[in-house]
Amino acid sequence: MSTYLLVHGAWHSGQCWERVVPLLAAAGHRVLAPTLTGYGDTVHLAGPEVGLDTHVDDIVRLITEEDLTDVVLVGHSYAGLVISSAANQVPERIAHLVYLDAMVPEHGETAVDVMPFTQAMIEQALASESGWRIPPLTGMEPSPGLFGVTEPADVAWLRSMLSDQPVRCLQQPVRLDNPAVNAIPRTHIHCVADVPEGVTRRSVPALQPNGTPSQVWELETGHDCMITMPAELTELLLKVG
């Protein structure tokens, strides 16, 4: 049995994994899909002080309080930053890092370094009435629907769980200065259908930080593959567990 810890991306909540959790559990694994501070049922905690460090603390605290070991730590989108810094703090508890259509940072980088288009979001948030709120993206051409989700019922369900992203999440740097984190194997899963204009993905180096060949898989779907292709995603996740 493996322990899968599924970390949602910006604007979403742990609810987005609802179709994947039972599939992993049915295969005999323990699965946790928490909601990060400021989203979903914790939206009342959102504010200008919530940032990347807050979300890293959420995950590290969950891992330590539940005494999780041999964790397959999965980060979707923005959560690539979260799982990186979390693994840096507790590398001995992490068996595998999975970057699911995610930002893949180096030490000291922010979201803007990984995906420069997020700078415009920061500037708009700082200039807005709130000074910190980044509303959910409602569509990026040529990507249809919402985060690549096109079925009307699924779009409505997804929209019901979305909330604003605190700007500090995109401003705080990732910490990857613990040499032990480099030994953790990595897998990259890319969603390759209908990639929005302006969104560029970094090339994955031929070798992982631990010196082994990089492992990159693709799903022919949009960004929110846990909603559009839960069975196919689960099949890939089971290969690393």
Two tokens at 28?
């005999």
Amino acid letter, 197? E
CA atoms within 13 A on the CB side of 155: 13
> How many angstroms separate the CA atoms of 186 and 96, rounded?
6
Alpha-carbon distances, residue 150 vs 28, 155, 220, 232 (angstroms): 31, 6, 14, 17
Determine contact, residues 6/29, Cβ cutoff 8 Å.
no
Q: What are phi and psi of 3, to 5 degrees?
A: -110, 115
Choosing from 77, 84, 85, 143, the catalytic residue is 77
Residue 59: Cβ-neighbour burial (10 angstroms; 0-12, 13-18, 19+): buried
77 catalytically annotated: yes
Decide: residue 1, CB within 10 A, 0-12 exposed, 13-18 middle, 19+ buried.
exposed
Phi, psi torsion values for 61, nearest 5 degrees:
-65, -40
Tokens matching residue 198: 């302006």
Q: Kindly list the catalytic residues.
A: 77
